[in-house]
Structure 1
Amino acid sequence: MNKKSRNTIIGSAIVVVMAILAAIVVSGVSFWNGSMNSEAAGRPVTIDSVTIQGTDVVAQVSCKSIPSSDDGNFYLFGDEVYEDGAQGKVVATAKTSKSATFTFSLNLNTEDSNLSRKFLVAVKQGGSYVQVSDEHYITNPEAVATFTSIRNDHGIKGLLADLEMEDTYELSELGLQQVIYNFDLGTVCGLTDDPAYPTIEYTYDGTTYYFNGHTVTSYDTLISQWNNMGLQVTMVILNSDDVQSPYTADLMHPDSRDGHECPGYAFNTAEEGGTKHLKAIAAFLGERYSGMTGHGQVDNWCIGNEVNARTEWYYLQSDDLDTNVNAYVKAFRIFYNGIKSMNGSANIYNSIDQEWNRKSNPGCFLSKAYLDTFNYYMNREGNINWGLSFHPYNSPLFDPYAWKGQSQYVSRNIKTPYITMQNIDVLIDYMHQADFLAPDGSVRSISLAEQGYTSSFGEDYQSASLVYSYLMAASYPDIDAFLLFRQTDNAHEMESNLALGLNNLDGSHKPAYYYYQAMGAANQQEYIDKASAIIGMDVKYLVDNRILLTRSGWSLDS
């Protein structure tokens, strides 16, 4: 969210052919890079599952060859996320065998809660514990959810709301079904001295935490208002340093505290205090915004923003990909298990940008590499129903043409430097691979949570780009959200030719406002025809055939 202006970003393009990818997958070829795969890292014991059953947790393990041990016992450790190896607490034991079952108490909302711990098997060798399995998390936290609500799924058309607009009626007038906004922990955690909005105390796992009553109430009002308008709400959880106090300082990862200025920092999964605080925040958000407590309903949570953009949106000092993804995965597991243990119907998303195979900033990571590594850890440590939040901006960002990108930056194959709406098939087909599927075998929820088009080089082009992109998104059943950035122009972004709003700075409507209003409405075809006239070819033809204009140099063989 609050998209940065990157002058050097480049690219935009078309689509991968599903039949080709399917043939490659069937033939056994994987698109994954490097040596990563979903198999265990050479350890003899496999944890097959860790699930909540009633008030207990049941772990099933197996092995082809039984590791040697001093006493013939398996020891199941419950580690906190900041612990590695056999450092945590032994939660259960079993005799060594080709298969074993461990049963132990969940201890939900106690000082000894196992909800967000990671589990591993160890044996005693030479008097010391030796890890013999990979780590595995609980994968069904929704089993204990007591605030589960019916999701407000009824369409993909959405927008980043502009809270400075005096009249929120625009959101209804536009015919939106969804809205997205930021949830900044830096302003939410801590005390208030306003008697009208007293500090909110929340006790979790035996410790009391404090939330800013004024800020939380503002979110309550905002979310409830959107719900009353029939809008599904997505919140992006940001970890800023806007408020420095004893109540927020522990949320920033220790390797992010070197003074680098960034709107978002890595969540603290390296220290006990920060980890416990994150667990409480996750549970608080899942409960309060479940739609069951009178404070509004948030159906979708994005954990961080563009987390592959290390120096710009999810700062961690290390420039090592595995180090960064590993730290993020730990935070993601905490939020996933915490939120879904309250509201089992909530969707939890990661967040990456369009820089698939080419960086605009050397301090960031390629989104494809980040996604691959994230998925590797998710499969290795217990597959869950995570969702993908993707931002398919044009490249460069100020390119006004969503339907004809620059061929040197966008291609119709997996090596494309960028993924935009023009070649969104690349992403969709990629997520159809067996290694990326959800636990039930379905394709994961894909939210196009941020994209926008500039009017700096012509309002007609902005309007046509918007129609083309919306229709492209609506043509894929795997895409659950198309959230436009933004409602109103931003003066700073306009300095870089990024006039992305549907409204001008003074609040007056651009033509794009009316084009977007028509999408999904009874008069949609009228505006499709207008967009087709601007492009010089039928927009529906471009979308339905997934090809570029021949004059832009593309063919089905490119």
Structure 2
Amino acid sequence: MRLLIALVLAVPALFVTGPAHAAADTGVTGVEVGESTITVTGSVPGRAELYALDTWQDDHTGETPVATVEAGEFRVEVPRMDGDQDRLYDKFRTVGADGPLGEVHYADRLTFASTGQAPYPDLPGKKGLQVQMTDDAEEIGVQHAGINLALDSVMMAGPGAPGNTIEFVSQGRTYHFDRGAVAGLDAQVKPLSDNGVLVNLIVLVYNSTAPNSAAAKLIHPDAELGKGTVYAFNTKTAEGEGYFTAAMEFFAQRYSRADAKYGRAWGWIVGNEIDAQQFWYNMGPQDRDVFLDHYARAMRLTWQAVRKADAAARVYTSLTHFWTGAANDDPKYTYKGRDVVDGLNALTKRQGDFDWNIAYHPYPENLFNPAFWHDKTATDSFDSLRITFKNIDVLPRYLAQEALTYRGERRRVILSEQGLNSQDYSDQELKLQAAAYAYAYYKVAFADGIDSFILHRHVDHKQEGGLRLGLWTWDEEHPAPSNAGERKPIHEVFEDIDTARSLEVTEFAKEIIGISDWKDVIPGFDAAKLAVRKPPSVVGVQLDAKPVAERVISDFEQDTGGWRPSDNAAAVEQVAVDGGHALRVRFDRDLPGWSQYAKSYKGADLLLDRPLDATRSSQVSVSIRVPESADDRFKPGNAFSAKIRVYGRDGAVAEGVGAIDPALGWNRLTLDLSRWAPRKAISRVKVWVRGSVGSDWAGSYEIDRLSLAAAALPDLDRRNVEVAATTAERGRIGSTVTFTVTNRDVLPMAGKVRLTACDGVGVDPAALSVTGLRTGASRTFETKLTAYGPANQDYPVVCASYLRQEQRVTFRLPPEAAYVPPAPDAFANQELADGFDAAGAYQVHKVEPEGKELPQVSYDGGALSAGHPSASWFGLMSSGVSPRNPAFSTAITIRKFQQSSTDMDTVYTGLVQDGKTDVVAFYVNTHKFAGFEVRGPQVPGGLAVFGIKQGVTVPDGGRFALSLVGNRAAMYADSGSGWKLVTAATLEHLPKLSDPDVRAGYRYGFGVRGDGGATPLVLDAVEGRSIS
């Protein structure tokens, strides 16, 4: 630290000078940071030096004191700025003749005015989501959001490419941020905050391999790279503190601007699930107190940086659902959640308290089973092993204890990440997931002391260990792991649970849960308080209507007219078109992958300086043009559509959808607001456009001539009617084809929609009665397939005509059945067969990152026994045999499971290279589930899990097998009546097993895992086969 100029003030008379001897409360007791001065107070038993240290520093050696204080109470003022250095981040310590006196002490009172003074939002509801698609988030009424801020992807180690670098000065040093990556983050934050969503940023660092990433600067030097998914922030070195502080200052300033130019964030969650640090905030093996000291530094630096920019934003720590338990039994890698809370509270109170809060993750005790009401380890006690949705009220009650409060106020709680799984896509599992969400939402809605419930995830993810936690399925036919496929039943429940339809959409859940009334299980449940949000009003849209008495609002002849990019869009620009100008909406750069997915709405909006009165001009029109070549590379059957949203006072929204035909050039859409009362004060207009198929769309479209008109004359040749067709089978004559007709127009429908075989596909009935179908309503019809000879077998088409208009309707078919590799007996080439009659030549590998003890293995009586007398154990065992063909199967016979295991009574079978590299299937007897795993350096994070299946039982004496062909894996079990398929899945991150040299590095093998104790896990045989 540079030399400080200090002013030692006389102690006021009310201060009592203590005796000159050491005491428990000696040293610095308060640090107040003002606009230009820092005031340090305390008491010392004798003459002492006062030092100001950087956050990272552990001692004062080599530093110059900022002041000398005499015995008794003292008050010292030092300038807040030391050149370019802001001492807000410093900690202060007194050192006497015999060494340091008391604890270091950070700022615990801030009296300067933050740049931003806006109050913390007071939202009516708690419904939240870790948002992926901001357009869908708006449609379903998200009020709280969680967004990942991965610093390694946005911050650079040094200057980047010209034009793609944002320079930022922090503490006198220039740091660099990737302009494109930052813009991509803006594109997630701003559409949400523009809609009034309270955004929480989850601040993380991954081990990026990008050449100019700041990851190496930001990651804690003790972190074990490859053993965790997310890593601890470097608060141990000056460089690490500098980079982290700069990052937090940059984003705190960016997302707290009064004009919200880049978006607005209110919550800052530091790290992820720090109590399970081995996996989610890896700092290497650490005693809990050491870990918390380094973590608290990061949390405090965040609070300090945020407070400079924002007076009201909140800072949170992040915890798993473990409370008096831990994620594993290694006390240097995982900690009990309650101990973390108590430890942070004690530490920050000793070193200068600040208002940190808790972002909790109350997943069910079994992440794969959403029925949390059956959780056995979640009890109504401060000593509960876990806190899940079942006993979530325990957490705010615990925090209400006086010793844990901050200045007498209970620390805030948000539920920032927790999901409810659907084990598969069967009707039963999907309804269970939706029912569990309804129950959890109601519990949290009426729970005191919890501010929000942010659901994880938006869309199911193919690489989330077999979990399916989303509101949407993934798109099975798209290579991206988490592009949206179809809405799940939970989507409708989520959308309407905070509206007047709440009880209607959750009625089904009561039978599943086993209750007759929500009041029986939800303390304080009040149906009258459920509707905290009013859904948009759906209004009709005319296609190519002619306006009467039109008043133009935006024509883009001068500039962009105040329009701005919104959901899934990167930029807007004025362009010359047809002798005039229009607004181009671009989504071809600086966006996450799902924003360039055709089925996501891409938008622009106009925030009006003064509200528009549309009382007498109730027809809102806009022209939209999508390039005719836009879907040239799409899958067949695409149809473009636009949604227009108009915003009034008090959150009122009207919306309508219209078809867009690129072949027509400009499409004129007219929204009829004549029956929408809030039209008197229109404050904002938004335009969205999307496709209908799961293809990528990185491009643009154009908007022109937003206007109001007194009336609109319809184009009788174009009616705004949408027809969709789905089938559960692929071309079987007699199978059911379901048609859905939706009226998007102004007028009710009358007559019939007629279906004709324009592509060799016929159905019966071929006439669908739609009389009386009103604006925004849909009607569903079941028909039978009578003929099937389409030009493209995967994209059959029928033609649907209504009045003077005909449209081609492409069936939405189910994905082709995925290949399922056969049972082991189908693999003719037996390459390994061992009944354990003698000690085998197996190499036993310690498995990482678990790092359990190796099992003690013995061979006796044609069996292999594995165990350990005192410790949990885990080993993978490789034979000396590699498969000759990349299509192979491995199987094991289990004589006896441990049975007494409380954690892992588990077997593995597959290919093993070492303790860090394998391709196996596993069965966990303790919890009766199975799945596939791939380990290796080619896997992000080192380990990926797929195809988890619950409710599996392999008995003693049973067999368990893996078959792999290409990237398709199948798992089989034999309980005595032959092989039965358990599940199948597509594996990712596989090694190139088709390469003989790669395959030679993998051996037929198996694995065993269990608890310490006298009872072993016993195997009878192992077998390896390939296709000859």
Q: Counterparts of 1:86 and 1:319 in 2: how far apart (Å)? A: 23
Alpha-carbon spacing, 1:515–1:275, altered in 2? closer, same or farther (3 Å):
same
RMSD between aligned residues = 2.2
Alignment of 1:3-152 (within 5 A): 43-62=24-43, 67-68=45-46, 73-87=47-61, 88-97=63-72, 99-107=73-81, 110-125=83-98, 130-141=99-110, 143-152=112-121
Alignment of 1:74-473 (within 5 A): 74-87=48-61, 88-97=63-72, 99-107=73-81, 110-125=83-98, 130-141=99-110, 143-154=112-123, 155-163=125-133, 168-190=134-156, 197-242=163-208, 243-245=210-212, 247-256=214-223, 258-292=224-258, 294-362=261-329, 363-405=333-375, 407=376, 409-439=377-407, 441-456=408-423, 458-473=429-444
Unaligned runs of 5+ in 2: 1-21, 476-484, 526-1028
- The answer as to whether partners of 1:142 and 1:343 remain within 8 angstroms in 2 is no
Q: Which runs of 4+ in 1 moved over 4 A?
A: 191-195
The size of the alignment, in residue pairs, is: 482
Percent of matched pairs sharing the same residue = 27
Task: Please tell me the residue identity of whatever aligns with 2:470.
Answer: G
Q: Counterparts of 2:45 and 2:119 in 1: how far apart (Å)? A: 47
Task: Please tell me the residue identity of whatever aligns with 1:49.
Answer: G
- The answer as to whether partners of 1:531 and 1:539 remain within 8 angstroms in 2 is no
Alpha-carbon spacing, 1:301–1:246, altered in 2? closer, same or farther (3 Å):
closer
Task: Please tell me the residue identity of whatever aligns with 1:534.
Answer: I
Q: Measure how far apart 1:377 and its partner are.
A: 0.7
Q: Is residue 543 from structure 1 mapped to residue 522 from structure 2 by the alignment?
A: yes
Counterpart secondary structure, 1:344: coil
Q: Which position in structure 1 is the counterpart of 2:538?
A: none
Q: Measure how far apart 1:192 and its partner are.
A: 7.2
Counterpart secondary structure, 1:351: strand
Q: Counterparts of 2:367 and 2:110 in 1: how far apart (Å)? A: 39
Q: Counterparts of 1:529 and 1:504 in 2: how far apart (Å)? A: 23
Task: Please give the per-residue CA displacement for 1:401-432, whole angstroms capped at 9, x wherever unaligned.
Answer: 12232x2x222112211110110121111100
Task: Please give the per-residue CA displacement for 1:232-268, whole angstroms capped at 9, x wherever unaligned.
Answer: 1111000112135474421111111x43342311111
Task: Please tell me the residue identity of whatever aligns with 2:130.
Answer: L
Q: Measure how far apart 1:46 and its partner are.
A: 4.7
Greater strand proportion: 2
Task: Please tell me the residue identity of whatever aligns with 1:74.
Answer: A
Q: Measure how far apart 1:210 and its partner are.
A: 0.6
- The answer as to whether partners of 1:354 and 1:418 remain within 8 angstroms in 2 is yes
Q: Measure how far apart 1:139 and its partner are.
A: 2.1
Q: Measure how far apart 1:159 and its partner are.
A: 0.3
TM-score normalised to the size of structure 1?
Answer: 0.82
Alpha-carbon spacing, 1:42–1:270, altered in 2? closer, same or farther (3 Å):
farther
Task: Please tell me the residue identity of whatever aligns with 1:102.
Answer: V
Q: Counterparts of 2:206 and 2:53 in 1: how far apart (Å)? A: 27
Counterpart secondary structure, 2:328: coil
Counterpart secondary structure, 1:483: strand
Q: Measure how far apart 1:183 and its partner are.
A: 0.3
Q: Measure how far apart 1:350 and its partner are.
A: 0.6
Alpha-carbon spacing, 1:246–1:390, altered in 2? closer, same or farther (3 Å):
closer
Task: Please give the per-residue CA displacement for 1:193-247, whole angstroms capped at 9, x wherever unaligned.
Answer: 565x520011111111111111111112221111122211111000112135474
Q: Measure how far apart 1:530 and its partner are.
A: 2.7
Q: Counterparts of 1:517 and 1:152 in 2: how far apart (Å)? A: 21
Q: Which position in structure 2 is the counterpart of 1:483?
A: 454
- The answer as to whether partners of 1:80 and 1:118 remain within 8 angstroms in 2 is yes
Q: Is residue 517 from structure 1 mapped to residue 495 from structure 2 by the alignment?
A: yes
Counterpart secondary structure, 2:185: helix
Q: Counterparts of 1:211 and 1:225 in 2: how far apart (Å)? A: 22
Name which of structure 1's ranges 241-250 and 298-307 shifts more when overlaid on structure 2: 241-250
Task: Please give the per-residue CA displacement for 1:66-98, whole angstroms capped at 9, x wherever unaligned.
Answer: 524xxxx3322111122224334422333211x
Alpha-carbon spacing, 1:358–1:249, altered in 2? closer, same or farther (3 Å):
same
Name which of structure 1's ranges 311-320 and 137-146 shifts more when overlaid on structure 2: 137-146
Q: Counterparts of 1:177 and 1:92 in 2: how far apart (Å)? A: 50
- The answer as to whether partners of 2:276 and 2:327 remain within 8 angstroms in 1 is no
- The answer as to whether partners of 1:146 and 1:342 remain within 8 angstroms in 2 is yes
Counterpart secondary structure, 2:286: coil
- The answer as to whether partners of 1:153 and 1:232 remain within 8 angstroms in 2 is no
- The answer as to whether partners of 2:160 and 2:178 remain within 8 angstroms in 1 is no
Q: Counterparts of 1:545 and 1:403 in 2: how far apart (Å)? A: 18
Task: Please give the per-residue CA displacement for 1:487-530, whole angstroms capped at 9, x wherever unaligned.
Answer: 1111233x63x221111123211111111112221111223433
Q: Counterparts of 2:23 and 2:211 in 1: how far apart (Å)? A: 44
Q: Measure how far apart 1:486 and its partner are.
A: 0.8
Counterpart secondary structure, 1:513: helix
- The answer as to whether partners of 1:141 and 1:344 remain within 8 angstroms in 2 is no
Task: Please tell me the residue identity of whatever aligns with 1:203.
Answer: V
Alpha-carbon spacing, 1:545–1:229, altered in 2? closer, same or farther (3 Å):
closer
Unaligned runs of 5+ in 1: 1-40, 547-558
Task: Please tell me the residue identity of whatever aligns with 1:486.
Answer: R
- The answer as to whether partners of 1:192 and 1:213 remain within 8 angstroms in 2 is no
- The answer as to whether partners of 1:144 and 1:342 remain within 8 angstroms in 2 is no
- The answer as to whether partners of 2:232 and 2:295 remain within 8 angstroms in 1 is yes
Task: Please tell me the residue identity of whatever aligns with 1:61.
Answer: G
Task: Please tell me the residue identity of whatever aligns with 2:379.
Answer: S
Q: Counterparts of 1:132 and 1:508 in 2: how far apart (Å)? A: 63
Counterpart secondary structure, 2:451: strand
Counterpart secondary structure, 1:133: strand
Q: Which position in structure 1 is the counterpart of 2:504?
A: 526
Name which of structure 1's ranges 529-538 and 381-390 shifts more when overlaid on structure 2: 529-538
Q: Which position in structure 2 is the counterpart of 1:34?
A: none
- The answer as to whether partners of 1:142 and 1:344 remain within 8 angstroms in 2 is no
Q: Counterparts of 1:224 and 1:57 in 2: how far apart (Å)? A: 36
- The answer as to whether partners of 1:392 and 1:424 remain within 8 angstroms in 2 is yes
Alpha-carbon spacing, 1:524–1:114, altered in 2? closer, same or farther (3 Å):
same
Task: Please give the per-residue CA displacement for 1:439-460, whole angstroms capped at 9, x wherever unaligned.
Answer: 2x11111010011111226222
Q: Counterparts of 2:58 and 2:24 in 1: how far apart (Å)? A: 15
- The answer as to whether partners of 2:153 and 2:213 remain within 8 angstroms in 1 is no
Task: Please tell me the residue identity of whatever aligns with 1:157.
Answer: K
Q: Measure how far apart 1:51 and its partner are.
A: 0.9
